């Protein structure tokens, strides 16, 4: 995770097609691991990922930008309007 003037660069690993949306926590590689209900089909998992992260991190959906990994489970997101400390706190409560 890195903070810059635009926001926080957040590496994420997504497990699509699960029974429920869930924040698993951080991996040894410092990726936020998330289970997402939607299947990895036609962008459905990416859309649900953004919606879920918006609720979890309490930021607007428009403030979550998928920078890399649109078609794979390892993604890099830019989260605007939040700090690393806030991400760590809000994911710990999930």
Domain that holds residue 39: 2-92
Task: Decide: 81 and 59 in contact? Cβ < 8 Å.
Answer: yes
Q: In which element (H, E) is residue 4 found?
A: strand 2-4
Q: Which residues of the chain have pLDDT under 50?
A: none
Give the CATH number of the domain where residue 58 resides: 3.30.1200.10
* pLDDT confidence of residue 93: 79
Q: Measuring CA to CA, which residue among 11, 74, 13, 16 is closest to residue 45?
A: 16
Beta carbons within 10 angstroms of residue 78's beta carbon: 17
Q: DSSP code of 27?
A: -
Per-residue pLDDT reduced to its tens digit, 34-52: 999 999 999 999 999 999 9
Question: How many domains does the chain fold into?
Answer: 1
* pLDDT confidence of residue 94: 72
């Amino acid at each position: 995770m890195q903070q810059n003037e635009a926001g926080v660069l957040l590496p994420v690993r997504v497990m699509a097609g699960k029974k429920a949306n869930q924040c698993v926590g951080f991996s040894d590689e410092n990726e936020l691991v998330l289970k997402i209900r939607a299947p990895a089909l036609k962008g459905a998992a990416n859309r649900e990922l953004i919606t879920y992260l918006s609720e979890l991190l309490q930021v607007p959906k428009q403030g979550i930008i998928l920078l890399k990994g649109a078609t794979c489970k390892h993604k890099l997101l830019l989260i605007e309007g939040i700090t690393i400390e806030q991400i760590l706190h809000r994911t710990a409560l999930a």
